[in-house]
Amino acid sequence: MTQELIANILGVRREGVSEAALKLQDAGLTRYSRGRIKVLDRAAVEARSCECYAVVKKEYDRLLPTPRTG
């Protein structure tokens, strides 16, 4: 996933995505290289997000629940 694609999805400038990616990487929370983002500490990344992340995730989980196997 490129920074350009992330920017288009979020409706922001690519430069803003680049800046955020660098900050998360500098903090040791992610590793970013050539279109690949590896999250090293998901809890810390979520803690840095706005409260809207939890709201959106809760609604997403409600509308699209994980199918149960068995």
Go through the domains of the chain in sequence order and give each one's CATH number.
Answer: 3-63 (1.10.10)
Residue 3: C-alpha distances to residues 12, 15, 19, 28 (Å): 10, 8, 10, 19
Q: What is the mean pLDDT of residues 33-59?
A: 88
φ, ψ of residue 37 in degrees (nearest 5): -120, 125
Would you place residue 70 in the very low, low, confident or very high pLDDT band (cuts 50, 70, 90)? low
pLDDT surpasses 90 at 33: no
Q: Are 10 and 20 contacting, i.e. CB atoms less than 8 angstroms apart?
A: no
pLDDT of res. 37 = 86
Model pTM score: 0.69
Q: Are 17 and 10 contacting, i.e. CB atoms less than 8 angstroms apart?
A: yes
pLDDT of res. 34 = 80
Could you report the per-residue pLDDT of 7-28, keeping only the tens digit for each?
A: 898 899 999 999 999 999 999 9
